[in-house]
């Protein structure tokens, strides 16, 4: 079985506390960059996949998060910016971000 891609959450997975931290204040865990590099060294695409409802409140922007994920060298990022009340299809655990990635990368 070949693993072609890994979807990685942000808060509490690659760093932080499990709660919202603005990208300018966010720090990855000491091992996160090395772990992502191991995946890349094995030709496995890395995708960030995160709920960030604070974007809908104006506390951060999609661009803030895209720039952050680029700095960690993710291949792409899929971000749900909606509030909890929006009833969107992309807020995890709903599958919208995975469907978007599947469509974009086949």
For the whole model, what pTM was predicted? 0.91
In a domain, residue 23? The reply is: no
In a domain, residue 53? The reply is: yes
pLDDT value of residue 6:
96
In a domain, residue 93? The reply is: yes
In this structure, is the dihedral angle defined by the CA atoms of residues 70, 72, 74 and 80, taken in order, positive or negative?
negative
In a domain, residue 87? The reply is: yes
Average pLDDT by stretches of 10, the chain with 106 residues: 92 91 95 97 96 94 96 97 92 95 93
In a domain, residue 51? The reply is: yes
CATH number at residue 58: 3.40.50.1000
Residues identified as active-site: 9, 11
Q: What is the domain extent for residue 53?
A: 5-18+28-105
Number of domains in the chain: 1
pLDDT value of residue 18:
84
How far apart (Å, rounded) are the C-alpha atoms in residues 73 and 36?
8
What single-letter DSSP state applies at residue 27?
-
pLDDT value of residue 106:
84
């Amino acid at each position: 079985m070949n693993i072609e891609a890994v979807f990685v959450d942000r808060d509490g997975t690659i760093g932080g506390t499990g709660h919202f931290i603005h990208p300018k204040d966010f720090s990855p865990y000491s091992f996160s960059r090395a772990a992502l590099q191991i995946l890349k060294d094995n030709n496995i695409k890395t995708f960030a996949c995160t709920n960030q409802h604070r974007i809908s409140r104006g506390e951060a922007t999609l661009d803030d998060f895209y720039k952050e994920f680029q700095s960690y060298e993710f291949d792409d990022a899929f971000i749900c910016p909606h509030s909890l009340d929006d009833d969107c299809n992309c807020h995890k655990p709903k599958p919208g971000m995975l469907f978007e990635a599947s469509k974009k990368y086949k």
